[in-house]
Amino acid sequence: MSNDADLTNYDSIAELFINHARQPDSWNNLYERPYMLGKLPQLRGKNVLDLGCATGFYTEHTLKERANVTAVDASQKLIDRLASEMKSPKLKLFCADISKPMPFLESDSFDCIICSLVLDYIKDWDALLNELYRVVNKGGQLIISIVHPFASYLHIKPDSYYDFKLVEDDWGGHHGIAFKTHYYIRPMNEVFRPIIKSEFDIVSIEEMLPDEGLKETHPEPYQRLIERPGFLFIMLER
Amino acid sequence: MTSDAELTSYDSIDIDTYLAHVERPNSWNNLYERPYLISRFPPLKEKNILDIGCSSGFYTEYALNNGAHVTAVDISKKMIERLTSRLKSPRLRLFEADIAKPMPFLETESFDYIICSLLLHYIRDWDIPLAELYRVMKKGSKMVISTHHPFAIYLYLKPTSYYEFKLVEDTWAVQSDNQFKVRYYMRPLGEILRPLIKSRFTIKSIEEMLPNEGLKDNHPGLYRRLMERPGFLYIELERQA
């Protein structure tokens, strides 16, 4: 494993993270997942790659939609957990560092790649985007969510907005399950550059707004998310 | 004129005050935006250049001095009159027009390069101008755009929400005796990207402008400010060959 993967993979915090992300009022559940699910194409019978599958939320969703799913994560513990939780002839699981070439994935083999809140853990996107371009079908889509660079700046308060570096952050405190994560902050420049340089076509880049339903059920997160940036949604196409 | 144009045209402010502000040697235009844009220009000699929203005429004059044929457009009658008397050249055409509307006086597929410097934040709806600029560009040619960085504007104006898309009034030259008010649109990044991605252009580059290294010695305060927080956004679009 690369140094990156050692620092950012979830092996050391697998249980805590799963507990965190599965909380009904986690940002994953209230904000990111509703937005992403609203953007996913028809998946029935499709070959889907869930890259950085973590808790397996999208893996499970796409299996239910009757897709064939390949799920990859750097954490052996998360992969082991998914292997015991989800039994399906339509599911393939791999433990691998996605910042490196993935020869176990066939070229031109996926109709849709879901890359949810994983690129923040990867420093060099150029190599990864090349590899994903190789494995996606012509006409296939790569659907990405990341932390918005403006949101990271306001949250982490680095010396410079342009800092591109690994940071340590504390999550889960409000659920009484505090743990540390490591991810990269980078300016918008370092989001656009590799995407524009890649062979993909840009279908959309959107600042995720919360679902209107959140206004009633969770007014505080709703207010926060309509006042300041949260996550960024990116759809690319081969 | 549209109501947008009435609100944002520089005709409503004193031209001499405005020009004294942007043309002073230590303006952001001179220290930051112009060096960045010029470093991206292709050779301009004998090319047909459109300077859209030419304002003080800095880029018009620069392109003329580099042997280009220049068409300069601005909404401000006073700016165009001023340029007419200041720059005399058989290689220059000047038009007074509202860029937010179609520009039938510009021929289809006639320009090799379009310069759109610090203009788009005065225009609410970018779809029409982008379609019109696409029409007048030759195939394979490029347009460079500079505009306010949405996050810089958020940190500067401190609106209730980052997502507000609205006309704002700002006071410039606050440290001088000649303060003046300008109006422009603030909008989130999503409202910059949406019309660009929707347009027929190919996006060649979207960059947060960093200052020239030379600024470090000459203007350390401004250099540090621009290295710590966003300033302007640079965008390069291409009409595919």
Read off the pTM: 0.94
Is the pLDDT reported for residue A31 higher than 90? yes
* CA nearest to B236 within chain A: A196
Residue of B162, B188, B206 with shortest CB distance to A192: B206
Please give the mean pLDDT across all residues of chain A.
92
HSE (side-chain half, CA atoms, 13 Å) at A8: 26
DSSP letters for A17-43 = HHHHHTSTTSHIIIIIHHHHHHH----
Closest listed residue to residue A220, CA positions, set A31, A22, A21: A31
Smallest CA–CA distance, residue A172 to chain B, in Å, is 26
**CATH number of the domain enclosing B15:** 3.40.50.150
Q: Which candidate in A35, A164, A185, A189 is best for mutational testing of the B interface (most B CBs within 10 A)?
A: A189
Is the pLDDT reported for residue B101 higher than 80? yes
Q: What is the enclosing helix (H) or strand (E) of B74?
A: strand B69-74
Radius of gyration of chain B, Cα coordinates, nearest whole angstrom = 17
For chain A, give the percent of residues with pLDDT over 70. 96
Is the pLDDT reported for residue B18 higher than 90? no
Touching check for B195 and chain A: CB below 8 Å?
no
Q: Is the ipTM of this complex over 0.85?
A: yes
Q: Which domain holds residue B113?
A: 3-238
Smallest CA–CA distance, residue B205 to chain A, in Å, is 7
d(CA A79, CA B127): 46
Model pLDDT, residue B172: 87
Model pLDDT, residue B4: 65
Show me where the domains of chain A are located.
Answer: 3-148+190-237
Residue of A153, A162, A203 with shortest CB distance to B227: A162
CB A132 within 8 A of CB A72: no
d(CA B187, CA A231): 17
Model pLDDT, residue B1: 44
Is residue A173 packed enough to be buried (19+ CB in 10 Å), middle (13-18) or exposed (0-12)? exposed
pLDDT tens digits for range A192-204? 999 999 999 999 9
Q: Which candidate in A153, A200, A207 is best for mutational testing of the B interface (most B CBs within 10 A)?
A: A207
Residue of B161, B204, B230 with shortest CB distance to A161: B230
**Number of CB atoms found within 10 A of residue B120's CB:** 25
CB B120 within 8 A of CB B147: yes
- Cα B173 to chain centroid, rounded: 19
According to CATH, the topology of domain A3-148+190-237 is: Rossmann fold (3.40.50)
Model pLDDT, residue A26: 84
Touching check for B240 and chain A: CB below 8 Å?
no
Is the pLDDT reported for residue B57 higher than 80? yes
> Which tokens sit at A169?
């952050």
When divided into structural domains, chain B yields a total of 1
> Which tokens sit at B40?
């991206």
Give me the amino acid identity at B99.
I
Give the lowest-confidence range in A111-115, A165-169, B138-142.
A165-169
Q: What is the enclosing helix (H) or strand (E) of B61?
A: helix B58-65
Please give the mean pLDDT across all residues of chain B.
94
